[in-house]
């Protein structure tokens, strides 16, 4: 199985995957970032598909053209599975259709609760007693798709967004590599990613 990890930032999730011996074929980024250096240091092919060429972060950003270019680049590397790891660009349905059911994502809440970019802040505002992280099959709809695994994190009375998010990320860096490895094994056996749902008990 040929895995591509999509990144935009520091690469801590990528580091966790590499430390867990997940076999990463390609790391692709939408902007220059530390994660590309993490990949190169580990001897993994690093690819920059820079969104600046498609309008950058302006309102004129051509999301459709960027998504098409990214899909083409990954298909050129014969990628079987895509794992988003802090990837900051929302891709179009054309990208998901290029890798149907083969794009994974991790999100800092217990989906379907608190989807969207500000999940941790929304969790605190709602006064929940527990949050966590969710690994799911990504779809064109933001933070939607079949849930593969979740882990819970207690919310403390003195938590702020930063402290809670750090504890969620610590759990995420354990859960996500486990799920990715199981999905890769399932695909190698001819099963779809959803077959791992429920196989990992919540901790």
Measured CA to CA, the distance from residue 52 to residue 96 in angstroms comes to 22
Identify the H or E element spanning 39.
helix 34-41
Go through the domains of the chain in sequence order and give each one's CATH number. 3-191 (3.40.50.170)
Residue 203 scores a pLDDT above 50: no
The distance of Cα 195 from the centroid of its chain, to the nearest Å, equals 18
Spatial CB neighbours of 83, under 8 Å, sequence gap ≥ 6: 3, 4, 5, 6, 17, 103, 104, 105, 176, 180
Catalytic (active site) residue 107? yes
Averaged pLDDT score across all residues of the chain: 95
Least confidently predicted of 94-98, 157-161, 191-195: 191-195
Spatial separation of the C-alpha atoms in residues 64 and 55, rounded to whole Å: 11
Contact 32, 50 (CB under 8 A): yes
Question: What are the phi and psi torsion angles at 48 (to 5°)?
Answer: -100, 115
pTM: 0.93
**CA-to-CA distance for 196 and 175, rounded, in angstroms?**
13
Query: Residues of the chain with pLDDT > 70: what percent?
Result: 97
> Which whole number is the average pLDDT over 173-179?
97
CA-to-CA distance for 40 and 33, rounded, in angstroms? Answer: 12
Q: Which of 96, 107, 136, 165 is catalytic?
A: 107
CA distances in angstroms from 69 to 3, 34, 74, listed in the order given: 18, 22, 9
Residue 104 has pLDDT above 80, yes or no: yes
**SS3 at position 121:** helix
Reported as a pLDDT band with limits 50, 70 and 90, residue 194 is: confident
């Amino acid at each position: 199985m040929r895995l591509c990890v999509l990144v935009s930032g520091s690469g801590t999730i990528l580091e966790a995957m590499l430390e867990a011996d997940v076999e990463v074929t390609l790391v692709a980024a939408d902007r220059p970032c530390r994660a590309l250096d993490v990949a190169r240091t580990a001897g993994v092919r690093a690819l920059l598909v820079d969104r600046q060429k498609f309008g950058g972060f302006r309102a004129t950003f051509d999301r459709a053209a960027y998504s098409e270019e990214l899909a083409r680049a990954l298909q050129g590397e014969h990628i079987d599975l895509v794992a988003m790891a802090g990837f900051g660009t929302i891709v179009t349905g054309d990208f998901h259709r290029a890798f149907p059911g083969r794009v994974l994502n991790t999100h800092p809440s217990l989906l379907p609760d608190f989807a969207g970019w500000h999940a941790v802040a929304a969790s605190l505002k709602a006064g929940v007693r527990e949050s966590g992280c969710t690994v799911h099959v990504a779809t064109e709809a933001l933070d939607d798709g079949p849930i593969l695994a979740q882990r819970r994190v207690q919310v403390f009375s003195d938590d702020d967004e930063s402290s809670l998010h750090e504890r969620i990320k610590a759990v995420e860096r354990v859960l996500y590599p486990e799920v990715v490895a199981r999905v890769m094994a399932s695909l190698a056996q001819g099963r779809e990613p959803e077959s791992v749902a429920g196989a990992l008990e919540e901790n």
